[in-house]
Chain A
Amino acid sequence: MSKQLGFLHNSEKCVGCRGCEMACKNEYQIDAAPQWRKVFQLHEEDFSLPTRMFFSMACNHCAHPECLRVCPVEAYTKRDDGIVVHDPNRCIGCRLCTMACPYDRPQINSAKKKVEKCNLCYQRIDNGEQPACVAACIPGALELVEINDILDQKTGVLKTLPGLPSPKLTTPSIRFIGPKQGKQIRRD
Chain B
Amino acid sequence: MKFHQSICPRNCYDTCSIISTTHKGVLISVEGNPHHEYTSGKLCPKALDDVKKVYSPQRIRYPMRQRGRYSGFWERISWDEALTLIAEKILSLKETYGSSLPLALNKYSGNFGVLHNAMEGLFTGIGATTRTVGSPCWSAGVEAQTYDFGTFFCSDPLDMAKANLIWLWGVNPAWTAVHQMPIIFDAIDGGAKVVCFDTHFSATAARAHRYVQVRPGTDGLLALGFAKVLLEENLIDSNLSSYTLGHEEFFHYLENEISLDNCSEITGVSISTIRELALEYGKTHPACIWAGFGLQRYTNGGQTLRAIDALGALAGHLGEQGGGVQYAQFQTWRFSGAIQNPAHPFNISSNTDHPSIDSLTQNQKQTDRLLNINRFSEEALSCTDPPVKILWISGRNPLSQDGNLQQWKKLINQLDLIVVNDLFHSKSSEAADLFLPITTHYEHWDLNAGYWHYWVGVNEPAILPIGESRSDIQIAWDVSSKLNELEPGSCIFPTSGDEKETLLRELGPQMLDILGLKKPEEILKAPVRANFPSTAWENRIFATPSGRYEFFSSQASNARLSPLPIFVPPLNPSIDAPLRLLTPHHYSTINSQVYASGADNSDYVLHLAPELAQRHNLAVGDRAQIWNKSGLLEVVIQPLLGISADTVIIFQEQVEANSPLNCLIGTPLTDMGQLILGAPGFALNETFVNLRKL
A interface residue numbers (CB < 8 A to B): 12-13, 15-19, 21-23, 25-27, 29, 32, 44, 49-54, 135-140, 179, 181-188
What are 22 sample pairs from A and B whose C-beta atoms fall under 8 A apart? A13-B207, A15-B178, A15-B203, A15-B207, A16-B174, A16-B203, A17-B44, A17-B587, A21-B45, A25-B48, A26-B29, A26-B30, A49-B641, A50-B640, A52-B203, A135-B42, A138-B182, A139-B185, A185-B270, A186-B644, A187-B215, A188-B609
Task: Tell whether, in the assembled complex, residue B645 and residue A138 are in contact, meaning their CB atoms are under 8 Å apart.
Answer: no
Q: Does B204 contact A (CB under 8 A)?
A: yes
A135 to B41, CA, bound (A): 8
Which residues on B sit within 8 Å (CB–CB) of A13? Answer: 181, 185, 207
In the complex with contacts A18-B587, A139-B178, A23-B203 CB distance below 8 A: no
Task: Tell whether, in the assembled complex, residue A185 and residue B213 are in contact, meaning their CB atoms are under 8 Å apart.
Answer: yes
Task: Tell whether, in the assembled complex, residue B45 and residue A17 are in contact, meaning their CB atoms are under 8 Å apart.
Answer: yes
Contact residues, B602-649 vs A (CB, 8 A): 609, 611, 640-645
Which residues on B sit within 8 Å (CB–CB) of A187? Answer: 213, 215, 268, 644
Interface readout for B202-221 with A: 1 if CB under 8 Å, 0 if not?
Answer: 11111111111101000000
Out of A23, A25, A32, A188, which one reaches B642, CB within 8 Å? A188
Q: Which of B44, B51, B209, B644 has the most CB of A within 10 A?
A: B44
A44 to B44, CA, bound (A): 25
Q: Does B74 contact A (CB under 8 A)?
A: no
Which residues on A sit within 8 Å (CB–CB) of B48? Answer: 19, 22-23, 25-26, 136
Out of B178, B205, B207, which one reaches A17, CB within 8 Å? B178
A29 to B185, CA, bound (A): 31
A32 to B210, CA, bound (A): 38
In the complex with contacts A19-B42, A186-B211, A51-B178 CB distance below 8 A: no
Interface readout for B196-240 with A: 1 if CB under 8 Å, 0 if not?
Answer: 000001111111111111010000000000000000000000000
Q: How far is the CB of A155 from chain B (nearest CB, A)?
A: 16
Out of A19, A26, A184, which one reaches B178, CB within 8 Å? A19
Which residues on A sit within 8 Å (CB–CB) of B642? Answer: 50, 52, 184, 186, 188
Task: Tell whether, in the assembled complex, residue B211 and residue A183 are in contact, meaning their CB atoms are under 8 Å apart.
Answer: yes
Q: Which of A26, A49, A51, A137 has the most CB of B within 10 A?
A: A26
Task: Tell whether, in the assembled complex, residue A140 and residue B182 are in contact, meaning their CB atoms are under 8 Å apart.
Answer: yes
Interface residues on B, range: 35 or more
A44 to B201, CA, bound (A): 12
Least CB separation from B639: chain A residue: A44
Which residues on A sit within 8 Å (CB–CB) of B213? Answer: 184-188
A144 to B640, CA, bound (A): 33
Task: Tell whether, in the assembled complex, residue B641 and residue A183 are in contact, meaning their CB atoms are under 8 Å apart.
Answer: no
Q: Does B179 contact A (CB under 8 A)?
A: yes
Which residues on B sit within 8 Å (CB–CB) of A179? Answer: 206
In the complex with contacts A26-B29, A139-B178, A44-B215 CB distance below 8 A: no
Q: Does B412 contact A (CB under 8 A)?
A: no
Task: Tell whether, in the assembled complex, residue B181 and residue A52 are in contact, meaning their CB atoms are under 8 Å apart.
Answer: no
Out of A19, A52, A138, which one reaches B206, CB within 8 Å? A52
A53 to B588, CA, bound (A): 17
Which residues on B sit within 8 Å (CB–CB) of A186? Answer: 201, 211, 213, 642, 644
Q: Does B657 contact A (CB under 8 A)?
A: no
Q: Does B49 contact A (CB under 8 A)?
A: yes
Out of A51, A137, A185, which one reaches B269, CB within 8 Å? A185
A54 to B45, CA, bound (A): 15
A44 to B270, CA, bound (A): 26
Q: Which of B51, B211, B643, B645 has the most CB of A within 10 A?
A: B211
A12 to B194, CA, bound (A): 14
Task: Tell whether, in the assembled complex, residue A15 and residue B204 are in contact, meaning their CB atoms are under 8 Å apart.
Answer: yes
Task: Tell whether, in the assembled complex, residue B42 and residue A184 are in contact, meaning their CB atoms are under 8 Å apart.
Answer: no
Q: Does B381 contact A (CB under 8 A)?
A: no
Q: Does B52 contact A (CB under 8 A)?
A: yes
Task: Tell whether, in the assembled complex, residue B643 and residue A136 are in contact, meaning their CB atoms are under 8 Å apart.
Answer: no
In the complex with contacts A18-B587, A185-B211, A53-B206 CB distance below 8 A: yes
A26 to B29, CA, bound (A): 6
Task: Tell whether, in the assembled complex, residue A22 and residue B49 are in contact, meaning their CB atoms are under 8 Å apart.
Answer: yes
A135 to B32, CA, bound (A): 10
Least CB separation from B587: chain A residue: A17
Least CB separation from B41: chain A residue: A135
Which residues on A sit within 8 Å (CB–CB) of B643? Answer: 188
Out of A22, A50, A140, which one reaches B597, CB within 8 Å? A22
Which residues on B sit within 8 Å (CB–CB) of A29? Answer: 28, 51-52
Which residues on B sit within 8 Å (CB–CB) of A12? Answer: 207
Task: Tell whether, in the assembled complex, residue B641 and residue A188 are in contact, meaning their CB atoms are under 8 Å apart.
Answer: yes
In the complex with contacts A26-B29, A32-B596, A52-B206, A18-B45 CB distance below 8 A: yes
Q: How far is the CB of A105 from chain B (nearest CB, A)?
A: 18
Which residues on A sit within 8 Å (CB–CB) of B203? Answer: 15-16, 52, 54
Out of A19, A27, A54, A182, which one reaches B44, CB within 8 Å? A19
A151 to B596, CA, bound (A): 38
Q: Does B175 contact A (CB under 8 A)?
A: yes
Which residues on B sit within 8 Å (CB–CB) of A135? Answer: 41-42
In the complex with contacts A13-B185, A52-B642, A53-B206, A25-B597 CB distance below 8 A: yes
Task: Tell whether, in the assembled complex, residue A185 and residue B210 are in contact, meaning their CB atoms are under 8 Å apart.
Answer: yes
A184 to B595, CA, bound (A): 33
Least CB separation from A185: chain B residue: B212
Q: Does B273 contact A (CB under 8 A)?
A: yes
Q: Which of B206, B209, B595, B643 has the most CB of A within 10 A?
A: B206
A185 to B206, CA, bound (A): 12
Q: Which of B51, B212, B611, B642 has the most CB of A within 10 A?
A: B642
Q: Does B122 contact A (CB under 8 A)?
A: no
Q: Does B142 contact A (CB under 8 A)?
A: no
A98 to B681, CA, bound (A): 52
Task: Tell whether, in the assembled complex, residue B597 and residue A52 are in contact, meaning their CB atoms are under 8 Å apart.
Answer: no
Which residues on B sit within 8 Å (CB–CB) of A50? Answer: 201, 206, 640-642
In the complex with contacts A32-B52, A50-B641, A184-B201 CB distance below 8 A: yes
Q: How far is the CB of A110 from chain B (nearest CB, A)?
A: 15
Least CB separation from B55: chain A residue: A29
In the complex with contacts A17-B44, A22-B597, A138-B179 CB distance below 8 A: yes
Q: Which of B41, B178, B596 has the most CB of A within 10 A?
A: B178
A59 to B587, CA, bound (A): 24
Q: Does B43 contact A (CB under 8 A)?
A: yes
Contact residues, B268-322 vs A (CB, 8 A): 268-270, 273
A126 to B269, CA, bound (A): 55
Which residues on A sit within 8 Å (CB–CB) of B215? Answer: 187
Which residues on A sit within 8 Å (CB–CB) of B273? Answer: 185
A34 to B273, CA, bound (A): 47
Q: How far is the CB of B672 from chain A (nearest CB, A)?
A: 27
